[in-house]
């Protein structure tokens, strides 16, 4: 007579819930650590595109370096492009995160004259830029000692980038601290998920929330 093998014991409901919770926590940590990161705009260096009090979602995987060909096929990866707005470790204070726009790519020659940026001798079209003081006319003398107006020319080294804030007269960027190493980049800013004006009137609640900026793409 053939013996029937004993069926494996059923998992208790408590154990199933516990395992599900563990998996959910691991996935949440993976997403937070490797895929997305929240970031709050701390200064006005990217105005008027990004305002103090904007809360962003940053895609950390898209610009992350890949180790092999398989990762390049499977993971949603692409190279850094001019115009990308990225969050990165400060070259001066690596424990502090900054956000700026990519202006110069490796091997490019960057120069600024009368507040206008030139890449390899060609003026860069920058509709996103704002100035506290308008650029001087072409026939005005250049102020060589004012980095807000005149810079370079410099050539961006391999594996590094030239970064600038959109609010050019109020941004401490590559003009002041040099080039950004590629491995300092943490991710590309994707969209604004929340925005509130700092020091807004009202006590608690929804006072100061900038409803029109919610879910706005960063570009």
Q: Where in the sequence numbering do the catalytic residues fall?
A: 45, 100
- Is residue 195 within 8 Å of 213, Cβ to Cβ? yes
Q: Measured between alpha carbons, how far is residue 183 from residues 88, 148, 179, 187 in Å?
A: 9, 27, 12, 10
The whole-angstrom separation of Cα 7 and Cα 15 is: 18
- The DSSP result for 76-135, as a single string, is ------TT-EEEEE-SS-TTSEEEEEEEE-TT-EEEEETTEEEETTEEPP-TT-B-SSPP
Alpha helices (H) in the chain, listed in sequence order = 13-30, 69-74, 174-177
Q: 3-state class of 16 per DSSP?
A: helix
Residues ≥6 apart with Cβ < 8 Å to 210 = 51, 53, 54, 195, 196, 197
Question: In the Cβ-directed half-sphere of 21, how many Cα atoms lie within 13 Å?
Answer: 6
């Amino acid at each position: 007579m053939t013996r029937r093998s004993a069926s494996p014991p059923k998992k208790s409901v408590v154990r199933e819930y516990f395992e599900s919770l563990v998996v959910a926590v691991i996935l949440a940590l993976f997403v937070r650590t490797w895929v997305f990161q929240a970031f709050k705009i701390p200064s006005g260096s990217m105005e008027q595109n990004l305002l103090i009090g904007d809360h962003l979602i940053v895609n950390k995987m898209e610009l992350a370096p890949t180790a092999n060909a398989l990762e390049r096929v499977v993971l949603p990866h692409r190279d850094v492009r001019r115009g990308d707005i990225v969050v990165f470790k400060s070259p001066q204070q690596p424990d502090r995160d900054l956000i700026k726009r990519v202006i110069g790519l490796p091997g490019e020659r960057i120069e600024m004259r009368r507040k206008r940026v030139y890449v390899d001798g060609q003026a860069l079209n920058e509709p996103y830029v704002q100035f506290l003081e308008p650029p001087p006319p072409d026939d005005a003398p250049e102020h060589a000692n004012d980095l807000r107006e005149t810079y370079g020319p410099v050539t961006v080294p391999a594996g590094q980038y030239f970064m600038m804030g959109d609010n050019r007269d109020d941004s401490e960027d590559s003009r002041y601290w040099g080039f950004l190493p590629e491995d300092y980049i943490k991710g590309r800013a994707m969209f604004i998920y929340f925005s509130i004006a700092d020091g807004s009137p009202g006590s608690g609640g929804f006072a100061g929330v900038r409803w029109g900026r919610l879910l706005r793409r960063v570009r």
